[in-house]
Amino acid sequence: MSRVRVTHIGGPTALIEVGGWRLLTDPTFDPAGRAYAFGWGTSSRKLAGPAVDAGALGPIDAVLLTHDHHGDNLDGAGRELLPSAGTVVTTAAGAARLGGGARGLAPWASTTLEAEGRPSIEVTATPCRHGPPLSRPIVGDVVGFALRWEGQRHGAVWISGDTVLYPGVRQVAGRLPVGLALLHLGGVRFPVTGPLRYTMTARDAVELLGAVRPHTAVPVHYEGWKHFQQPRAEIEREFAAAPAGVRDRIRWLEIGTPTDLET
């Protein structure tokens, strides 16, 4: 199976469908308008609701939750959805907080999704650092996910997770062939911490894509929240100036529209 269907629902939330599996990343289904506190004086407001309501989503076989402790990756309605999902895969600390049989992974650890009549999917956690050096005790643990199954033509489906560009995330280039990358962008900043960034900018993404070289790269986590500081128009300008080997790999998805992609 070299093709996968992806629906970008908004923010970091995407539905990935392949081989009868329905996998959901970072569920955020609250309506617009609510404010969320992230700790240590940081907060944000949700500016846009999901393109698909949680009630219209249909059954979910697994939730791939990069982290459970920030409302822009798991909000109230998203949290209510978790018990109905077949499996929740997240950080080790997040699994302990969530309970209910959630599977916790440290970076480069793996688990396998299995079901009769479907291909097995190996889920490997990839490194993230959700802020500047030494910020982990404050911002908490985050992981990305690499999904591998038999028949992929170009390589894994990789969800970067909320991360800045740092040596840990660069390890992906040396350890995984990537067919499809979902990149969490937005250049997150907060007034209380000034110029410090908590997710990648478009310039960071260009550098990372030059190393990882996926067949296709899809931006997510760039709209719908006040603390996302680099909107699509600015990201597109940076991408337009990137080398052809990078910019030709980028694919913007219409939010809410299922799109078939190669992996």
Domains, the chain, in order of start with CATH, read 3-253 (3.60.15.10)
- Pair 147, 156: CB distance under 8 Å: yes
CA dist 20 → 73, 233, 242, 247 (Å): 25, 35, 36, 31
pLDDT of residue 4 exceeding 80: yes
Alpha-carbon distance 253 to 243, whole Å? 21
pLDDT digits (tens, 9 = 90+) for 118-141: 999 999 999 999 999 999 998 999
pLDDT of residue 191 exceeding 80: yes
pLDDT of residue 40 exceeding 90: no
Residue 42 pLDDT level (bands cut at 50, 70, 90):
confident
pLDDT of residue 1 exceeding 80: no
pLDDT at 158: 98
